[in-house]
Structure formats: C-alpha cells, structure tokens
Structure 1
C-alpha cells in the first residue's frame, strides 16, 4: 500500500513529579511502563513494516496479497485504539498541549518536509511542493493523532461517543468532496477506533487475555486469513485503507456506510484476537515498544527507497524465498530503528523539548 494506515503511536514522556513535594515526603517515582502495551505496540509496528515489504510483491501472488489484506484489516486499528486509550487524560492543559505539539505536531512538520525532499529524488519529481496540508506517505497518522487528541474533551463529554463517531465515519465515506487536505478521509474514517480507545478501561484488556478468549482467537484468526485468501480475486482490500469515499472506490454511495460498519466490526474482532495473544510480561523486545514512533517514521525511507535502489528487481525476490526474506528483513530493520541508540540520534526531531517556545505553566511557577 502506498499510504499505510498505520501506523505507530507516539509515546508519552514520563518524568518524576518532584515539584512542590511537601517537606518530609518522598517524591513520587515515575509510573512504570506497562509491558503489555509496549509489547502490543512493538508487535504492531513489526506488522506495519512487513506490510510495506509485501506491497511490491502482491502482483502475481495471491498468498502475499491475502496476508497483506489480512494484516491491514487490524494493525492500524490496533495502534489507533491504543493511542485513544492513552489519550484519556488529555484535558487541554498547558502541559498536555506542549507534549502534543512537541511529540506529534513537530515530528509531523519535520518528516513531512523530509519525505517530500526524499521522494523528489526517489520518485523523480523535483518540483513536488512541500506542503503541510497534504500529508505524504506515513505522516498522515501524525496529523490524524493531533486532530483526534485535540477533540478528546468533546468525546469525553458526549453521551454516546462511539455511535456519534461511527456516524461521522459513515458520512465521510459518502463525501468525495472532502478532498485531501490533512487527509481528512482517514482522519474521519479511522475516528471510531480512537474514540473506542478513549472508552476502554484496564479491565477490558484483562478480559481479552483470558485463556478462553485466546483459545477462541486462534480459529477466528485462521478463518479470517482463509476469507482474505478467498476474497483476493473477488473484492478490493482498499476499504481497509480508509482513505477514499465509496464513489472513489467505484461503488455506489450506499456501500460506504455499510462497509464502515462491517469493516469496523471485522477490524475490532481481529484487534481483539491480536491483543489477546500479546504477552503481558517483560520480554526481550518490550523496551522497544517505547520507540515505535521512531520505527514507524524512519522505516518509511527504506520502504520508499527500496524500489529506487532496485531491491525488488531480481526475479527470485518474487518467489517464496524472496517473500520470506523481505518479511524477515523488514522485521529486523524496524526492530533496529526502535532501539535506544537510534532514538538518541533522532530524539531532537521526534521529542524536542522546545522549552523556549512555551510559557511556563502558572501552577509550575507557583511551585518553583
């Protein structure tokens, strides 16, 4: 897919709350990261990278296309649900707005510019304009997350947030006039997943990890993969990309709302199955879950450049051995890009402090 969906959710920075601690009391320690969610984010970003590696291999391979559509049905919804879950505390306070700007908006500006310059070279389009209104490639997720998080207080005040979000998504699918500004089709069509995340509580994730749910998830995932294989010559997987209206996909307008509901139900079943099998304990890759935004944005340069550099030109790459090799290479590359050394190098672009650009919080001034 030329424009993924999914992508990786920015990680909130945690710092000890030591300001204003009463004398004699020990300062609070920063909350420990939840291994379950870090594991989920890492596994999801690996699926994202694999999907991009499979994209040039789909032509002529029904199996690769089936895996591709299967993964795209749930990996971005999973990321977005988790992003919504961790956005529950967003209240529009100065500290939260600062974190949103430095952790989401600034990386969007930096990487939108970087991808434009890079694709001018790889795509041979030297006059491609740098614009912040038409997100290029992976950057759509950042601007979507920015918009979703800003609207969090609204969804927390609405009586029926998920039905309202679904209605908005359904209306977007019958509105081809929305256009490409800020990739609003994706922003609106993926909105229900974010809102669902806002509605979830820790007990919901504990329910998913029961052994009965895990046992049921195995045949469900296997059946979904079989359906995906059956559907390859019969329907387009573009419905799972959520970037076009029904009319733009060559379907009657009334297909849009129906496919919105069907796609949401299908994706959430697969997300539940995926999350049920995510390990809850700390493993060798758990720490990488804190760097999924790095892996998400940086691996796109390799995915974009792979065709320019001719990595998919040899005939053997389009056979079983090549498909397995591309899958393993993608998983390895995105894993490396999530590691601490890479994060240290690119932190200035991904998580800039930018204290100079913000006023100090009045409460912080009183405590200092």
Structure 2
C-alpha cells in the first residue's frame, strides 16, 4: 500500500520497480475489495468463512509491505512532505467524503478528523506508524516490544481517536516489515517455499471453514478491548497472540506464492491506494441492492469476482488521472522551498 519506492530484490523491469511487490499489492487489494463486498452476505456459510479467512491476513499483508517499504523513512524535509501529501491530506479529504454517503444512507452527519470512519483508519494508522519508524530502528528487540504493546492494547478500552486500538494491535506487522531484508523475500521465492506456501494457504482455508463460526468476528477486526469482546485479559492475550502468529504465517505463505515476474496486473499494483480509498463508495451502494440471488453460493462467488474486477478497474490509468487530486494531491504550493545543503 505504501507509495514509497520499493527496494529491489532482483533486477528491475523497464519501470525500475520490482514487479514482485506490485503483484503482491494488487492481489492483496483484490482480496480487500472482494472481502468488503461479501461482508453483507455473511449469512451464507461460505461467505462468512471466506470473510474470516481473508481478514486474518489481508490488512496484515499490506501493513508488512508498508513497513518494508518505509525502512528509509526519516524526518527530512522531503520525507515529511511526502508523508503529508500522500497520507495526511488524503485522510482529511476521504474522511470528509465518506461522511456524505453516511448522511444520505443513514441520515447521520458526523465529522471527526480524530476518529477515522470506515476505510480511513488505515491512513491514520499508517501515518502514525511511519512517524514512529526511527524509534523502532533504534531498539534492540523491536518486534518483541511491538507484540507486547499489541497485547497490552487489548487489556484497556482505548479511545476511538487516532484509531488507537487498531494502530497498536496491528503494530507488530509494521515493525515486522521494517525488520525484513531483501534476502528474506528471496528465500520465499524458492520452489520449496512456494510449495509450502500453497499448502499453508490451503490449510488456512480449511481451518477457516471449520472455525469461522467459533471465533467472534471482532477478533479479526482488532477494534475492541478484550473485555468488550467478552473474555478476560489472559484469554484475550492468547487469542491475540495466536492471530498475530496466524496472520504472519499466512502473509509469508501468500508472498511465497506471489509471482515474482511481470504480470498483466503488475502495473495496477503500483496504484492500490486508489482502489483502497475509492472502492468503499461502491461497496456502500452495492450493499443496498443485493437481491436474493446474492445470498447463495454462486451469488457469493459472483460478487467476489466482481470485487476483483472492481479492484483492477480502480487501479487503471483513467481512474488514477481522475482521482489523483484526492489520492496523490500535488502539494508543492503549500510547502516552502527545499534548501539544498551548501
């Protein structure tokens, strides 16, 4: 999801980008969009199982990649300006934009820039994670500290402002991304790891079919404290630790089976933020018009496929040109001139 320039792990293509990361981001955003579209169809068992399965690792995948691509973040003028123009400003614009459908559909107009609504939580959390990057790079055991903070966040009812529950709960995935190196991704590309990754993904899907009715949906959304979900802190911490481990394992498996060469969707993977921020409007509208046909296994499959198609469409150049003013606004007019070192 990150807009930073990826660190190459093999010779780049004509564009200078490693297609592996773009492939992974596009496949991940296809899962995100499809997952959101079938969310309202969870009365169908297969839809509920698929929703549960995808939510265990689809945002952790984006967060790991964002952490990896943020390893060179500093508080220099250029980096700070990019942080403002690619996260802070789009956050404000889309927080305001998503308040309009809520007004039309539910008769509620609530605007709070500190309390992210719907999809915008990711921009807020990524902004805070990226700001914290230099801190994690100074610690001896950053991942252990991040996991500790994640587990502790479940023991308290944190305020909704700044999306604190999700920001702290999902923090280990960002820190994990910061710790990864090109050789780790090279390891995942080995044939044996690809076979193992496919087996892990298949086993995860089978487990989701068995367990999806036994695990409360709120666990995979990371929005509430243990008490709000109805368990004590010891049980809650064990569940959270298990989900962190499961998410990391599925992320590794997903990356292992991701194509490393250029594909027809590699170019689309460079624009996943467009699909992420724009698809919510389609999802909110589509949910109001699902017919009985959608609440069937073929209907769920059709809706999921439409989600993948929608993700591709929203990453295409025409959409990017039309929405660039909001997703990647040009903010040079708002900044002072960069001073070159003498």
- Is TM > 0.5 for Structure 1 vs Structure 2? yes
Q: Distance in 2 between matches of 1:254 and 1:219?
A: 31
Please report how far the alpha carbon of residue 10 of structure 1 lies from its aligned counterpart in structure 2 after TM superposition. Answer: 3.5
Structure (1 or 2) with the larger CA radius of gyration:
1
- Which residue pairs with 1:157 in the alignment? 138
- Which residue pairs with 1:335 in the alignment? 312
- Which residue pairs with 2:24 in the alignment? 40
- Which residue pairs with 1:109 in the alignment? 92
- Which residue pairs with 1:121 in the alignment? 104
TM-score, normalising length: structure 2? 0.95
Where do 1:207-356 residues align within 5 Å? 207-308=187-288, 310=289, 312=290, 314-356=291-333
Which range moved further: 325-334 or 197-206?
325-334
Contact 2:46 2:297 in 1 (8 A): no
- Which residue pairs with 2:73 in the alignment? 90
Please report how far the alpha carbon of residue 12 of structure 1 lies from its aligned counterpart in structure 2 after TM superposition. Answer: 2.9
Q: Distance in 1 between matches of 2:168 and 2:15?
A: 33
Which range moved further: 277-286 or 315-324?
315-324
Please report how far the alpha carbon of residue 46 of structure 1 lies from its aligned counterpart in structure 2 after TM superposition. Answer: 0.0
Where do 1:68-79 residues align within 5 Å? 68-79=51-62
The yes-or-no answer on 1:132 pairing with 2:113 is: yes
Contact 1:291 1:338 in 2 (8 A): yes
Please report how far the alpha carbon of residue 31 of structure 1 lies from its aligned counterpart in structure 2 after TM superposition. Answer: 7.6
Post-superposition CA distance 1:284-339 (Å, at most 9, x none)? 1100011100000100001112223x2x1x21111122112111111111110001
Contact 1:10 1:104 in 2 (8 A): no
Q: Secondary structure at the match of 1:175?
A: coil
Q: Secondary structure at the match of 2:340?
A: helix
Size of the alignment, in residue pairs?
335
Post-superposition CA distance 1:115-168 (Å, at most 9, x none)? 01121112232xx22110110100000000000000100001111110011111
Contact 1:42 1:292 in 2 (8 A): yes
- Which residue pairs with 2:11 in the alignment? none
Q: Distance in 2 between matches of 1:100 and 1:306?
A: 32
Q: Distance in 2 between matches of 1:277 and 1:322?
A: 27
Post-superposition CA distance 1:249-304 (Å, at most 9, x none)? 11112223212221111111111110001101111110001110000010000111
Task: Please give the root-mean-square deviation of Cα atoms over the aligned residues, in Å.
Answer: 1.5
Change (3 A) 1:296 1:212: same
Which sections of structure 2, spanning at least 5 residues, go unmatched?
7-13
Regions of 4+ moved over 6 Å: none
TM-score, normalising length: structure 1? 0.88
Contact 2:57 2:248 in 1 (8 A): yes
The yes-or-no answer on 1:100 pairing with 2:83 is: yes
Post-superposition CA distance 1:151-198 (Å, at most 9, x none)? 10000111111001111111101111x121111000000100000100
Please report how far the alpha carbon of residue 13 of structure 1 lies from its aligned counterpart in structure 2 after TM superposition. Answer: 6.7
Which range moved further: 254-263 or 267-276?
254-263
Q: Distance in 1 between matches of 2:19 and 2:73?
A: 22
Q: Secondary structure at the match of 1:286?
A: coil
Q: Distance in 2 between matches of 1:294 and 1:189?
A: 25
